[in-house]
Amino acid sequence: MRKLLRAVFLLLLLAIALGYLLRQPLKEFAYGLLTQDMFVARDTDAFDPGPALGSRFPGLRASYRGRDITLIEEFAGRNGTVFIASRSLDWCPYCMRQMIQLQQQQKEFEAAGIGLVAMTYDAPQLQQAFIDRHGITIALLSDTDGLSFKTLGILNEQYRRGDSEYGVPLPGMIVIDPQGVVAGKLFLEDYSVRVDSAAALAFSRQVLGIR
Protein backbone atom coordinates (compact mmCIF):
# COMPACT_ATOMS: atom_id res chain seq x y z
CA MET A 1 0.00 0.00 0.00
CA ARG A 2 2.82 2.38 0.87
CA LYS A 3 4.50 1.71 -2.49
CA LEU A 4 1.24 2.50 -4.28
CA LEU A 5 0.78 5.76 -2.36
CA ARG A 6 4.40 6.71 -3.05
CA ALA A 7 3.93 6.04 -6.77
CA VAL A 8 0.73 8.10 -6.85
CA PHE A 9 2.45 10.92 -4.99
CA LEU A 10 5.40 10.89 -7.41
CA LEU A 11 3.07 10.88 -10.42
CA LEU A 12 1.17 13.83 -8.91
CA LEU A 13 4.41 15.76 -8.41
CA LEU A 14 5.44 14.97 -11.98
CA ALA A 15 2.09 16.19 -13.31
CA ILE A 16 2.41 19.44 -11.32
CA ALA A 17 5.97 19.96 -12.57
CA LEU A 18 4.97 19.34 -16.20
CA GLY A 19 1.99 21.65 -15.83
CA TYR A 20 4.25 24.39 -14.50
CA LEU A 21 6.82 23.95 -17.28
CA LEU A 22 4.17 23.87 -19.99
CA ARG A 23 1.86 26.53 -18.54
CA GLN A 24 2.62 29.17 -21.19
CA PRO A 25 2.26 26.83 -24.22
CA LEU A 26 -0.93 25.40 -22.71
CA LYS A 27 -2.31 28.87 -22.05
CA GLU A 28 -1.55 30.00 -25.60
CA PHE A 29 -3.12 26.82 -27.00
CA ALA A 30 -6.28 27.49 -24.98
CA TYR A 31 -6.30 31.13 -26.09
CA GLY A 32 -5.94 30.00 -29.71
CA LEU A 33 -9.04 27.82 -29.41
CA LEU A 34 -10.97 30.61 -27.70
CA THR A 35 -10.12 33.23 -30.35
CA GLN A 36 -10.24 31.15 -33.53
CA ASP A 37 -13.47 32.76 -34.81
CA MET A 38 -13.00 36.29 -33.43
CA PHE A 39 -12.24 38.18 -36.65
CA VAL A 40 -14.83 39.63 -39.01
CA ALA A 41 -14.46 41.34 -42.38
CA ARG A 42 -16.20 44.62 -41.49
CA ASP A 43 -17.96 46.68 -38.85
CA THR A 44 -21.62 45.77 -39.23
CA ASP A 45 -23.27 47.06 -36.05
CA ALA A 46 -24.45 50.54 -35.03
CA PHE A 47 -22.18 50.70 -31.98
CA ASP A 48 -20.24 53.96 -32.33
CA PRO A 49 -18.49 55.26 -29.17
CA GLY A 50 -15.60 57.68 -29.17
CA PRO A 51 -14.94 61.06 -30.75
CA ALA A 52 -17.28 62.13 -33.54
CA LEU A 53 -16.24 61.85 -37.15
CA GLY A 54 -14.82 65.18 -38.29
CA SER A 55 -13.72 66.18 -34.77
CA ARG A 56 -10.11 66.62 -33.73
CA PHE A 57 -8.47 63.69 -31.99
CA PRO A 58 -7.98 64.91 -28.40
CA GLY A 59 -4.82 65.03 -26.33
CA LEU A 60 -3.97 62.05 -24.15
CA ARG A 61 -2.33 61.40 -20.81
CA ALA A 62 -0.28 58.26 -21.22
CA SER A 63 3.21 56.86 -20.80
CA TYR A 64 5.53 55.44 -23.45
CA ARG A 65 9.00 54.07 -22.78
CA GLY A 66 9.25 55.91 -19.50
CA ARG A 67 8.05 59.31 -20.69
CA ASP A 68 4.74 61.13 -20.72
CA ILE A 69 2.75 61.32 -23.93
CA THR A 70 0.01 63.87 -24.61
CA LEU A 71 -0.03 63.85 -28.43
CA ILE A 72 0.27 60.98 -30.91
CA GLU A 73 1.74 62.92 -33.84
CA GLU A 74 5.12 61.22 -33.40
CA PHE A 75 3.51 57.90 -34.33
CA ALA A 76 1.75 59.21 -37.44
CA GLY A 77 2.46 58.09 -40.98
CA ARG A 78 2.51 60.51 -43.88
CA ASN A 79 -1.13 59.68 -44.68
CA GLY A 80 -2.51 59.30 -41.17
CA THR A 81 -2.67 57.17 -38.05
CA VAL A 82 -4.69 54.25 -36.72
CA PHE A 83 -5.15 54.39 -32.95
CA ILE A 84 -5.95 50.98 -31.43
CA ALA A 85 -7.78 50.93 -28.10
CA SER A 86 -7.13 47.56 -26.49
CA ARG A 87 -8.35 46.18 -23.17
CA SER A 88 -5.30 44.29 -21.90
CA LEU A 89 -2.29 42.49 -23.32
CA ASP A 90 -1.85 40.71 -20.00
CA TRP A 91 -5.16 38.85 -19.62
CA CYS A 92 -7.42 39.55 -22.65
CA PRO A 93 -6.88 36.79 -25.26
CA TYR A 94 -8.80 38.71 -27.93
CA CYS A 95 -6.58 41.77 -27.48
CA MET A 96 -3.44 39.65 -27.62
CA ARG A 97 -4.54 37.86 -30.79
CA GLN A 98 -5.53 41.15 -32.44
CA MET A 99 -2.20 42.80 -31.60
CA ILE A 100 -0.24 39.84 -32.96
CA GLN A 101 -2.27 39.97 -36.19
CA LEU A 102 -1.78 43.75 -36.51
CA GLN A 103 1.95 43.28 -36.01
CA GLN A 104 1.95 40.83 -38.92
CA GLN A 105 0.25 43.49 -41.05
CA GLN A 106 2.34 46.44 -39.87
CA LYS A 107 4.51 46.63 -42.98
CA GLU A 108 1.40 46.93 -45.16
CA PHE A 109 0.14 49.82 -43.02
CA GLU A 110 3.56 51.48 -43.26
CA ALA A 111 3.62 51.01 -47.05
CA ALA A 112 0.29 52.86 -47.19
CA GLY A 113 1.76 55.69 -45.10
CA ILE A 114 -0.34 54.85 -42.05
CA GLY A 115 1.17 54.76 -38.56
CA LEU A 116 -0.08 52.37 -35.89
CA VAL A 117 -0.22 53.21 -32.19
CA ALA A 118 -2.03 51.20 -29.51
CA MET A 119 -2.99 51.87 -25.91
CA THR A 120 -4.03 49.61 -23.02
CA TYR A 121 -4.56 50.14 -19.32
CA ASP A 122 -1.76 47.68 -18.49
CA ALA A 123 1.26 48.83 -16.51
CA PRO A 124 4.32 49.31 -18.77
CA GLN A 125 6.10 46.25 -17.36
CA LEU A 126 3.17 44.02 -18.31
CA GLN A 127 3.14 45.50 -21.80
CA GLN A 128 6.89 44.88 -22.07
CA ALA A 129 6.46 41.20 -21.25
CA PHE A 130 4.03 40.88 -24.16
CA ILE A 131 6.29 42.92 -26.47
CA ASP A 132 9.27 40.70 -25.69
CA ARG A 133 7.31 37.46 -26.05
CA HIS A 134 5.80 38.32 -29.43
CA GLY A 135 8.28 40.75 -31.00
CA ILE A 136 5.83 43.67 -31.08
CA THR A 137 7.16 46.85 -32.70
CA ILE A 138 3.84 48.74 -32.79
CA ALA A 139 4.06 51.60 -30.27
CA LEU A 140 2.20 50.64 -27.08
CA LEU A 141 1.04 53.41 -24.76
CA SER A 142 -0.09 52.88 -21.19
CA ASP A 143 -3.12 54.91 -20.13
CA THR A 144 -2.86 56.81 -16.86
CA ASP A 145 -5.76 56.10 -14.50
CA GLY A 146 -8.16 55.61 -17.41
CA LEU A 147 -8.04 59.34 -18.15
CA SER A 148 -7.19 59.00 -21.85
CA PHE A 149 -9.91 56.44 -22.52
CA LYS A 150 -12.36 58.65 -20.59
CA THR A 151 -11.34 61.69 -22.65
CA LEU A 152 -11.90 59.67 -25.82
CA GLY A 153 -15.35 58.60 -24.61
CA ILE A 154 -14.50 54.92 -24.70
CA LEU A 155 -13.83 54.08 -21.04
CA ASN A 156 -15.78 50.94 -20.13
CA GLU A 157 -18.01 52.23 -17.35
CA GLN A 158 -19.08 48.72 -16.37
CA TYR A 159 -16.12 48.74 -13.96
CA ARG A 160 -15.55 51.03 -10.98
CA ARG A 161 -12.41 52.23 -9.23
CA GLY A 162 -11.08 49.37 -7.15
CA ASP A 163 -12.08 46.74 -9.72
CA SER A 164 -9.07 45.00 -11.29
CA GLU A 165 -10.51 45.79 -14.74
CA TYR A 166 -11.12 49.48 -14.05
CA GLY A 167 -9.55 51.52 -16.84
CA VAL A 168 -10.19 49.16 -19.75
CA PRO A 169 -11.66 50.73 -22.89
CA LEU A 170 -14.34 49.67 -25.28
CA PRO A 171 -11.95 48.08 -27.80
CA GLY A 172 -11.76 49.46 -31.31
CA MET A 173 -9.83 51.56 -33.80
CA ILE A 174 -9.88 55.27 -34.60
CA VAL A 175 -8.50 56.43 -37.95
CA ILE A 176 -6.99 59.92 -37.88
CA ASP A 177 -5.99 61.98 -40.91
CA PRO A 178 -2.72 63.96 -41.22
CA GLN A 179 -4.43 67.07 -39.81
CA GLY A 180 -5.45 65.23 -36.63
CA VAL A 181 -9.12 64.88 -37.61
CA VAL A 182 -11.07 61.67 -36.95
CA ALA A 183 -11.76 60.17 -40.37
CA GLY A 184 -13.22 56.81 -39.39
CA LYS A 185 -13.89 54.37 -36.55
CA LEU A 186 -14.18 50.61 -36.14
CA PHE A 187 -15.96 49.58 -32.93
CA LEU A 188 -17.97 46.41 -32.36
CA GLU A 189 -20.25 46.07 -29.35
CA ASP A 190 -19.08 42.51 -28.65
CA TYR A 191 -15.59 42.81 -27.16
CA SER A 192 -14.75 39.27 -28.29
CA VAL A 193 -15.12 40.20 -31.99
CA ARG A 194 -12.63 42.40 -33.87
CA VAL A 195 -12.28 43.60 -37.45
CA ASP A 196 -9.56 41.68 -39.29
CA SER A 197 -6.34 43.66 -39.76
CA ALA A 198 -6.43 43.42 -43.56
CA ALA A 199 -10.01 44.72 -43.55
CA ALA A 200 -9.00 47.47 -41.12
CA LEU A 201 -6.23 48.49 -43.51
CA ALA A 202 -8.65 48.59 -46.46
CA PHE A 203 -11.10 50.68 -44.39
CA SER A 204 -8.33 53.06 -43.31
CA ARG A 205 -7.15 53.54 -46.89
CA GLN A 206 -10.72 54.29 -47.95
CA VAL A 207 -11.53 56.90 -45.30
CA LEU A 208 -8.11 58.53 -45.69
CA GLY A 209 -8.49 58.67 -49.50
CA ILE A 210 -5.42 56.56 -50.19
CA ARG A 211 -5.48 54.94 -53.63
pLDDT at 22: 47
**Residue 117 pLDDT:** 98
Give, as one character, the DSSP assignment of residue 74. G
Q: Do residues 151 and 49 lie in contact, with contact meaning Cβ atoms separated by under 8 Å?
A: no
pLDDT (0 to 100) of residue 2: 57
Q: What is the pLDDT of residue 115?
A: 98
C-alpha to C-alpha distance for 23 and 41, rounded to whole angstroms:
32
Could you tell me the pTM of the whole model?
Answer: 0.86
pLDDT at 144 over 90: no
pLDDT in tens, 181-210: 999 999 999 999 999 999 999 999 999 999
**pLDDT the model gives residue 13:** 55
Give the confidence band of 5 by pLDDT, cuts at 50, 70, 90.
low
Phi-psi label, residue 43: left if phi above 0, alpha if psi -120 to 50, beta otherwise: beta
Q: What percent of the chain has pLDDT over 90?
A: 81
Contact present, 84 and 173 (Cβ < 8 Å): yes
Question: How confident is the model at residue 14, as a pLDDT?
Answer: 55
pLDDT-derived band at 21 (thresholds 50, 70, 90) equals low
**Digit-coded pLDDT (tens) for 63-106:** 999 999 999 999 999 999 999 999 999 999 999 999 999 999 99
pLDDT of residue 34: 77
CA-CA-CA-CA torsion sign (132, 135, 139, 140): negative
Query: What is the arithmetic mean of pLDDT over 47-75?
Result: 96
